[in-house]
Chains A and B, each alone.
Chain A
Amino acid sequence: MEALVTQIQGLSGTASDVLSLQNLLKQADDSLHAESTRLPPFLDQLDPSKHSLGYLYFLEACTAGPVTQEQASSFLLTIARFISSCVAEQIRLAPDKFICVCKRFKDQVLLLEEPLRGVAPMLTAIRKLQLSSEHLTALHPEFLLLCLLSKCYKTALSILEEDIFEVDQPRDLFLFCYYGGMISIGQKQFRKALELLHNVVTAPMSTVNAIAVEAFKKYILVSLIHHGQFPTNLPKYASSGAQRNLKNLCQPYVELASSYSNGKIADLETYVEANKDKFESDNNLGLVKQAVSSMYKRNIQRLTQTYLTLSLQDIANRVQLNSPKEAEMHVLQMIKDGEIYATINQKDGMVRFLEDPEQYKTCEMIERIDSSIQRLMTVSKKLNVMDELMSCDPLYLAKAGRERQRFDFDDFDNVPQRYNI
C-alpha cells in the first residue's frame, strides 16, 4: 500500500508517467477495494491537485463500501475538495471512476437531505469531465437533479444554454432533457422547456421508456401553455415506437388538449376537476392549472386578430372573465410579457390593438440576423458531416440497396429516367 502511494507521488509528473501510473493502478485496483477500510489515512498523504489520478482510485475504493453517518459528512468534504482541486487531464483518463465517485457523492448529499451542498461541486465536476462544452456526460442529469431538489434553478440555466452534440449514454440524454425541461418550466421559460421536452419525446428509442412517457405528459401541457395548441402527430423523426404508443399511454392529457382546442373554459375546467387525482398523482396539477389560465391569454390573442379596438367589458364577456378589472389585469400582463401589442385607454376603458412596432430597420436587428446566420452555418456544417457519416453507415446502405427497383427503367428504354417522380 505504501509502495503504491510512493509510486503515485513519483509518477504524477508528465503525461507519459501518468499513463504508466494508470496501468499500475488498474492492476492494483482489486487490492485497493479489498482493503478499503484502511485507506483513509493514505488519502492525506496524497495531494489531489498533483496526484489526481491516484487520489481518484483511492477515493473510489474508500467510498465503495457502506458509509456510516459520521463518515458521510467528512467524506463529503473530502470529495468536494477533491473535485475542486483535481487536474482535468488526469481524471479524464479514468472517467467511469470519477463518475462513480460523483454519483456516490450525490447519494450521500441526498441522504443527508442537503442537496444545496452538492450543487457547486457537481458543476465543477461537470466542467472538468467534459471534453468540450458540447459533450453530455453522465454527471449532467445528476447535477440537474440536485438543482431541482434544492430549487436553485438559476445555476442550472448556464448548463442548459449549451448546445449538445455528443452524448455518452442515451439514458443521460433522456434524463438531462427531462430535468432540464422541468427546470425551465420552473423558471417560466416555456420555449426552452418545450425544446428540451421535445428532445426527449423524439429521441430515438427502440421501446418506449418511462422517462419519455412522463416527458410527453409535460410536453402536452407546456405546448398548450406556450403555443395554445398541441400538434396531434409527432414529427417524422420521432421513433415509430414513440409515434404509436405515447399517445395511448397519456390518454387523459390528450383529451385535455382536445378540449382545450374547443376554446370553452368552462368545459376545460370541468374536465380538469373530473380527472384531478390523475393529474395530481403525476405531480402535474400545477402545470394543468397554468394551462387553464393560459386559455384566457389565447382567447385574448384571438381577439386581436378580429378587432381593432374593444372595450374592457366586451373583452371580459368574450373571454368569459368575471369583470372588466380582471380583463384589464390580463391585458396588462400580456402587454408586459410582450405577447400582444396594445394600448389601454383608462378614461373610457377601451383597448386598442396595435401592430408589431418592429420595423426591421435597426442595426441591432442586423446584428441579430447576422448572428443567427452564423449559427445556422455552423449547424449546417455539422449536419453535413453527420449526413456523410450516415450515408456510409452499412446498416443504411444495406436497407437502401434492398429497396431499389428490380428492373431498371434504363435497361429497357433509351430515354433517361425523367419520369420518376
Chain B
Amino acid sequence: MASSSSSGLTFKLHPLVIVNISDHYTRVKSQMNPPPPTSATSNSNNSNGGENNQSPPRVYGCVIGVQRGRTVEIFNSFELLYDPSTHSLDRSFLEKKQELYKKVFPNFYVLGWYSTGNDAEESDMHIHKALMDVNESPVYVLLNPAINHAQKDLPVTIYESELHVIDGIPQLIFVRSSYTIETVEAERISVDHVAHLKPSGGSAATQLAAQLTGIHSAIKMLNSRIRVLHQYLVGMQKGDLPCENALLRQVSSLLRRLPATESEKFQDDFLTEYNDTLLVTYLATFTNCSSTMNDLVDKFNTAYDRHSRRGGRTAFI
C-alpha cells in the first residue's frame, strides 16, 4: 500500500461520519460482553462476534456524500451487514438503504465504505472491488478504535484504490489520501458537547475543568523536562557525562530568568491565597461528602426503619 495518492482528489470528511462509525463500533463491542451464546441470534453486525472475544470486532458500513468535480465531500454513513461466508457486504440491504436515503437526500451518492481496524487488509480489497459497480472509484474510510493518548490527530484514514504494476501484474492497491474536516454549525455544537461530556452539566464546570486540565498537563510537561535537565546536570557533576560549557551557560541563564520575588510580603500573600483556595476545596469536598451521606441515610431509613413515615408523596401544586 503506497503512502500517498496521485489522483488529485480532495477529500472533505464530516464529523458525523466519524461519530457514526465510532458509535457503531462501541455498540457492537459493548454488546459482545459477556461472551454471547453460540446461537445465531447474536446482535453483532460483524463476523467475529461469536468466535474470539479478545480481538476487537470489525464493523462495516457505507459512506455517502457528494462529489463535485475534484472535491469529494463525505456527509453521512450507514451500517451494513457483513456476510462472513462470502466475505462481502449484504447487497440487497445496501440497495434498499440506498433507495431510502435517496428519498431524503437526493443529492447523496454512495461514495464508498468504512470499517474499523488498525490497517487496511487484503480481504478488504474484495469488498472494495464489489463496491466498484456502484461507484467506479470508491473510498475506504478506516477508523482505528484503539485509544492512543499520545496520538494527536484523529485515527481516521481514507484510502483510495489505484492500479499499480507490481511484479509485472497490474494490481489494485490501497493508497492513503489526505483529508480535511468540514463542519456544519449543527455538527460543531454536537461535537463540542461530545468532547466535553461530563456527568453533571453546567458550562462553567466544564470550562473550569478544561482549563485546569490544560494547566495540569502543562505543569506535568514542565516537570518532566526539568527532571531531564536535572538528571543531565547530576550526571555531569558525577563525571559520567562530558562537561559542556555551552549547555551549562544556557541552563544558568534559564535559572536566572526565574521570578525573583522572595520578599516576605510575597510569601505571606502567597500562603494566604493558597490556604484560602485549599479551604474552599475542603468546603466543596465536605459538602459533596455530606450530600452523599445524606442520600445514603435517607435510603437506609426507607429500607430498614420499620416505623418511618409512610407515604412520602411529594405534593404537586
The proximity string for A residues 357-369 relative to B, scoring 1 for CB distances below 8 Å and 0 otherwise, is 0011111011001
Is the beta-carbon distance between A399 and B303 smaller than 8 angstroms?
yes
Is the beta-carbon distance between A376 and B282 smaller than 8 angstroms?
yes
CB distance from B73 to the nearest CB of A (A): 38
Is the beta-carbon distance between B300 and A372 smaller than 8 angstroms?
no
Known contacts: A362-B271, A396-B303. The answer to whether A369 contacts B279 by CB under 8 A is: yes
Give the contacts of B295-317 with A (CB-CB under 8 A). Answer: 295-297, 299-308, 311-314, 316-317
Known contacts: A387-B296, A421-B314. The answer to whether A400 contacts B272 by CB under 8 A is: no
Is the beta-carbon distance between A419 and B285 smaller than 8 angstroms?
no
Assembled-state Cα–Cα distance A419/B317 (Å): 7
Assembled-state Cα–Cα distance A369/B271 (Å): 13
Q: Return the chain B residue nearest A375 by Cβ.
A: B285
A2 at the interface (CB under 8 A from B): no
Is the beta-carbon distance between A380 and B278 smaller than 8 angstroms?
no
Chain A: interface residue count, which band? 35 or more
B292 at the interface (CB under 8 A from A): yes
A379 at the interface (CB under 8 A from B): yes
Known contacts: A383-B289, A403-B312, A403-B313. The answer to whether A366 contacts B271 by CB under 8 A is: yes
CB distance from A236 to the nearest CB of B (A): 7
Interface segment, one of A237-245, A291-299, A335-343: A237-245
Is the beta-carbon distance between A409 and B316 smaller than 8 angstroms?
yes
Known contacts: A206-B306, A240-B307. The answer to whether A373 contacts B281 by CB under 8 A is: yes
Q: Return the chain B residue nearest A372 by Cβ.
A: B282
Chain A residues whose CB sits within 8 angstroms of the CB of B286 once the complex forms: 376
Chain B residues whose CB sits within 8 angstroms of the CB of A240 once the complex forms: 305-308
Assembled-state Cα–Cα distance A241/B312 (Å): 20
B275 at the interface (CB under 8 A from A): yes
Chain B residues whose CB sits within 8 angstroms of the CB of A206 once the complex forms: 306
Is the beta-carbon distance between B271 and A420 smaller than 8 angstroms?
no
Chain A residues whose CB sits within 8 angstroms of the CB of B301 once the complex forms: 236-237
Chain B residues whose CB sits within 8 angstroms of the CB of A204 once the complex forms: 300, 304
Chain A residues whose CB sits within 8 angstroms of the CB of B307 once the complex forms: 240-241
A395 at the interface (CB under 8 A from B): yes
Assembled-state Cα–Cα distance A420/B274 (Å): 41
Report which of B268, B282, B299 forms a contact with A361, defined as CB distance below 8 A. Answer: B268
Chain B residues whose CB sits within 8 angstroms of the CB of A365 once the complex forms: 275
Chain B residues whose CB sits within 8 angstroms of the CB of A232 once the complex forms: none
Interface residues of B: mostly helix, strand, loop or mixed? helix
Chain B residues whose CB sits within 8 angstroms of the CB of A403 once the complex forms: 302, 311-313
CB distance from B283 to the nearest CB of A (A): 10
A67 at the interface (CB under 8 A from B): no
Assembled-state Cα–Cα distance A206/B307 (Å): 10
CB distance from B309 to the nearest CB of A (A): 9
Chain A residues whose CB sits within 8 angstroms of the CB of B276 once the complex forms: 360
Is the beta-carbon distance between B303 and A366 smaller than 8 angstroms?
no
Q: Return the chain A residue nearest B307 by Cβ.
A: A240
B243 at the interface (CB under 8 A from A): no
Which has the most chain B C-beta neighbours within 10 Å: A240, A377, A409? A240
Chain B residues whose CB sits within 8 angstroms of the CB of A400 once the complex forms: 299, 302
B228 at the interface (CB under 8 A from A): no
Give the contacts of A290-314 with B (CB-CB under 8 A). Answer: none
Give the contacts of A118-172 with B (CB-CB under 8 A). Answer: none
Known contacts: A236-B297, A383-B292, A387-B296. The answer to whether A366 contacts B278 by CB under 8 A is: yes
B215 at the interface (CB under 8 A from A): no
Q: Return the chain A residue nearest B295 by Cβ.
A: A387
Known contacts: A361-B271, A369-B279, A405-B313. The answer to whether A380 contacts B289 by CB under 8 A is: yes
B42 at the interface (CB under 8 A from A): no
Assembled-state Cα–Cα distance A204/B304 (Å): 9
Known contacts: A362-B271, A420-B316. The answer to whether A387 contacts B285 by CB under 8 A is: no
A73 at the interface (CB under 8 A from B): no
A391 at the interface (CB under 8 A from B): yes
Q: Return the chain B residue nearest A393 by Cβ.
A: B303
Chain B residues whose CB sits within 8 angstroms of the CB of A372 once the complex forms: 282
Give the contacts of A205-237 with B (CB-CB under 8 A). Answer: 206, 236-237
Chain A residues whose CB sits within 8 angstroms of the CB of B306 once the complex forms: 206, 240
Assembled-state Cα–Cα distance A362/B317 (Å): 53
Assembled-state Cα–Cα distance A387/B274 (Å): 33
A390 at the interface (CB under 8 A from B): yes
The proximity string for A residues 381-408 relative to B, scoring 1 for CB distances below 8 Å and 0 otherwise, is 0011011001101011001100101000
Is the beta-carbon distance between B316 and A370 smaller than 8 angstroms?
no
Assembled-state Cα–Cα distance A396/B313 (Å): 16
Q: Which 6 A-B pairs have the closest CB atoms?
A: A396-B303, A237-B297, A369-B278, A395-B303, A383-B292, A376-B285
Q: List 14 A-B contacts (CB under 8 A).
A: A240-B308, A360-B276, A366-B271, A372-B282, A376-B285, A380-B285, A380-B288, A380-B292, A383-B289, A384-B292, A387-B296, A393-B303, A396-B300, A421-B314
* 12 additional A-B residue pairs with CB within 8 Å, beyond A360-B272, A370-B278, A403-B312: A204-B300, A365-B275, A366-B275, A369-B282, A386-B296, A387-B296, A396-B299, A399-B303, A403-B302, A403-B311, A417-B316, A419-B317
